[in-house]
Amino acid sequence: MHHNSALVEARIRRFLDERLRPAVEVSTTPLDLTSWQAPGEPVPLAAAVAQEFTPLRVGAAWGRAWSTMWIRITGVVPEVQAGQQAELVFDLGFNAAEPGFQSEGTVYRIDGSIVKAVEPRNAHVPLDAAAGEPFELYLEAAANPDVAGGWDFQPTALGAWDTAGDEPLYRLRRADVVVRDLSAWELLQDAVVLQGLMGQLPEASPRRAEILAALERMVDAADPDDITGSIDAARDTLAAVLARPASGSAHAVHAVGHAHIDSAWLWPVRETQRKVARTFSNVLSLQHEDPDFQFAASSAQQYAWMKQYQPELFARLRDAIAAGRFHPAGGMWVESDTNMPGGEALARQFLHGKRFFLEEFGVEPLDVWLPDSFGYSAALPQIARAAGSRWMLTQKMSWNETNVMPHHTFHWEGMDGTRIFTHFPPVDTYNARLTSDELARAERQYAEKGAANTSLVPFGYGDGGGGPNREMLAAAARLRSLEGSPTVELSSPRRFFEAAEAEYVDPPVWTGEMYLEFHRGTYTSQARTKRGNRRSEHALREAELWATAAALRGAPYPYEELQEAWETVLLQQFHDILPGSSIAWVHREAELRYAEVLASTERIIAGSLTVVAGSGDTELRANAGPYAGGGSAAMGIAAVQGPEISATVARTTSGFELENEHLTVLIDGAGLITSLVVRATGRQAIAAGERGNLLQLHRDTPTQWDAWDIDEHYRRHVVDVTDVVSIDIIPHASAAVVCVIRELGGSRITQALTLHPDSHALDIETTVDWHERQKLLKLAFPLDVHTERATSEIQFGHIHRPTHANTSWDMARFETVAHRWVHVGEPGFGVAVANDSTYGHDMTRTPRAGGGTATTVRLSLLRAPLFPDPDADQGEHTFRVSVRPGASIADAVREGYRLNLPTRDIRGSGPAAPLLAVSSDAVVVEAVKLAEDRSGDLIVRLYEAHGGRTAARITAAFEFDGVIETDLIEREIEPTALSGVSNGDVEVELRAFQLVTLRFRRPRL
């Protein structure tokens, strides 16, 4: 048999492009258009329609970056024949960029209801009027710029309104009423699916040859002079190959409609609010056409925006959710980063998210839906299960640069031993289009072959939203059971997870964090955003504690103000805001919102302390931390006691000596620590021949993804910052303080090294006026500690990571995240390094003078990436770090809280006893608040912090009728830690790192 497959395939492609695609549109009629350009920020339809609209022609330039143009659209619905459909089609000036990364629009009826969006590859709008009837619609066209610019990571001015320029970015190319031939469109979908499948089959496959022959017969059957008249004959040629069912062993795909919508990224939050409306309206329109279509969307925040800004659309969402076709997913307020949010903040992501879904829709998502976050904390399994979740989905681990995750369906075990059933889709994308190459990849890469055979494919345009289109659903219908392809079932997250769990009853276990070997720079970029998050988390803890204490004394509890503050913080923990990977607009706004949170919490704290401490002029010290400090008990208020002793500072021939009863510190003339000795033991903490407090400047030029990445090659380019402009003693009433000023390029660095009288740690405050570009600033402490692992605080506990690079997994973990402290130790001696706003660290083994190894701890203070914000991190920053030698893990925990929850001096009538006292230092109270249901019950969240089993007694200074254990949503559960109540004391027994929520039932009036 003679044949030439390449020529046949070329003939088929030309037929599709030149004959069949044009045949889908039977006729086109231009629309009548007028427009009004909004002068600044977007306005609602009601405000727009009152403006003066002027004529608009196709071909007109429009839209300076981030602007909005309203277009009034009028026309008459044309007559159509059987098998035809009339609709509107627009081209706003779409370019080659993906949907969601360029211009897009929303079409409204005059009554304010949304029809659907207009986007690249989904630019049609249905007409709901009868033939011959006039219609009037309004198109809100958003001139969102393509900030990505082809992903060349070049600096761009498009990331803020005031720098983006005034030139129009787009040209209106099309606005027509189109009559569509439905049979021609169906034939096109048949051919596209078969063409795609054929491309995935082996050259020698009989199935491939069969499909090619059928497609060639299709071309033969289609009359080029009468495509419309020959459509049925052409479709008949494909019927047999489309009818062949998939093999019994074919991989089973659950296709879940999805549109990953970043709550901010290369667009501001206000644009996300419109993207959500566009996407959700697209979905509802598509579900009207295809009743089998299921769609899942995460992030309660995005639904809350619809409730606030699009109530008519929100009402339709309610109906679709009630009908079981639209599925709230994830159960979190946003798809947050999981590396940097504090433990209580991650708990609140679920508390606020699930309460919204339950209250608004009566639905509780049982999955954790985090396809795009940049690595996953080992604390997350316990937090998720404590919130009532059963399953988790992630996709991002497929981005690993070095190692391949060994599983796609598995139990993920957290640091405390909690497991959650987890799926990592082998399709390796959360924006699938249901193409044959995607499905073949899912089947090829699926790691569980032989034990299980089911995976999930999230499909739909995403990142910038958009969702599935009708071509994707056409593909799903044809691929439901088709020989040579995995089977495709339109599904939901719950249906998939129930099927996967039933199929794979004993999956493998992945233990510990899922560290993403990529995007390590996100622990450091946009330092002001990170500082705002850390400060806001601790301010909210303090505000809730004192507001609760005040409420127990009769003051009103500020529910609404606290909820608003928390939801701001939770939104800004989204995985492109807190990681520092968004445009300038986003981070400027985030800094403003954090300032509002801190102002709000300061009002609450001040007002509450006035109630708790009373009126008067007695000098008092309020301690919101979980440990005693500053002369006050944990979570209590005490009278201020002046220090009985002072730390001393003296000049030496080589620099300065600082001393108190615990430490002796030597600082040389360059402001570097040459000695840090624990006086009780004489043990030296600084490695021999090395100097601590060393600022180091690295070249920071990632291969790609500037704000996201720190690449390993940064280590090969380093300059030690040792030159001093000035160094001197700063007078202080009781502390020993040395101030060092340095200049570095265009930057100025001021450090205050402080030893307080009763402190076991040296405090270092570093203020940087930063004007470097593509540089990484680290603060190094070479410590005389021999260890194979470093310990880092994460949410509700800590994890150990190797300091060596024995394996490729160890080597890839060259930059890691920690919260308030890191600790390195050997038997009998350790050092804790705490911070108040830093997340990025590296801990390495270095040769030690005299033999053995020392350990260098470095904190990543600042970066200066150029994309997507060319001015990232420019300006002034302040970082507080403490170094505590002779520290245990328990000491490190205390030090982290001391630095992040400093006591505050107030005036009042007298001391106030703590609301709670805990008998064990290992059991840390993380939150004290009133219950969300406003019953007046008191919620206490606590955890075991040292990594071992602990029994503790909790003594309450308030009346309660009983205490129960709850989940994070504050619902009663079977007790796992609560062991009894006697004489008003609550007894608990916690396993290592266990997270416990207690509800103290308050007497009812």
Query: Which residues does the annotation mark as catalytic?
Result: 372
Q: Which SS3 state, helix, strand or coil, does residue 540 take?
A: helix
Query: For the CA atoms of the chain, what is the radius of gyration?
Result: 31
The rounded distance, in Å, linking the Cα atoms of 968 and 964 is 13
Amino acid letter at 482? L
Torsion angle defined by CA atoms of residues 490, 491, 492 and 497, in that order, rounded to the nearest 10 degrees: -150
CB within 8 Å of 349: residues ≥ 6 apart: 332, 333, 334, 336, 341, 570, 573
Q: Which of 844, 845, 797 is nearest to 819 (CA)?
A: 797
Q: Which SS3 state, helix, strand or coil, does residue 714 take?
A: helix
Amino acid letter at 549? A
Helix crossing, 559-571 with 527-551: angle to 10°? 160
CB within 8 Å of 553: residues ≥ 6 apart: 611, 612
CB-neighbour burial class of residue 794 (10 A; exposed 0-12, middle 13-18, buried 19+): buried
613 touches 909 (CB < 8 A): yes
- Other beta carbons less than 10 A from residue 93's beta carbon: 21
The owner of tokens 């009152």 is: 50
632 touches 903 (CB < 8 A): yes
631 touches 638 (CB < 8 A): yes
- Find the angle CA(716)-CA(719)-CA(725) to the nearest 5 degrees: 170
Tally of helices (H runs) and strands (E runs) in the chain:
19, 53
**With b meaning 16 or more CB within 10 Å and e meaning fewer, what string describes 929-957?**
bbbeeeebbbbbbbbbbbbeebebebebe
DSSP-derived secondary structure letter, 245: P
- Find the angle CA(75)-CA(79)-CA(81) to the nearest 5 degrees: 145
Amino acid letter at 810? D
The rounded distance, in Å, linking the Cα atoms of 545 and 552 is 11
The rounded distance, in Å, linking the Cα atoms of 957 and 954 is 10
Backbone angles phi, psi at 418, to 5 degrees: -70, 140
CB within 8 Å of 53: residues ≥ 6 apart: 34, 35, 36, 70, 72
Query: What are the angstrom distances between the C-alpha of 47 and each of 51, 70, 139, 272, 556?
Result: 7, 11, 14, 20, 39
- What is the SS3 string spanning 846-889? EECCCCCEEEEEEEEEECCCCCCCCCCCCEEEEEEEEEEECCCH
- Find the angle CA(793)-CA(701)-CA(525) to the nearest 5 degrees: 35
Sign of CA dihedral 78, 83, 85, 91: negative
532 touches 594 (CB < 8 A): yes
The rounded distance, in Å, linking the Cα atoms of 189 and 184 is 9
The answer for 916, left when phi > 0, alpha when psi is -120 to 50, beta otherwise, is beta
Tokens of 598: 């801190």
Whether the ω angle into residue 868 lies within 30 degrees of 0, i.e. cis, is yes
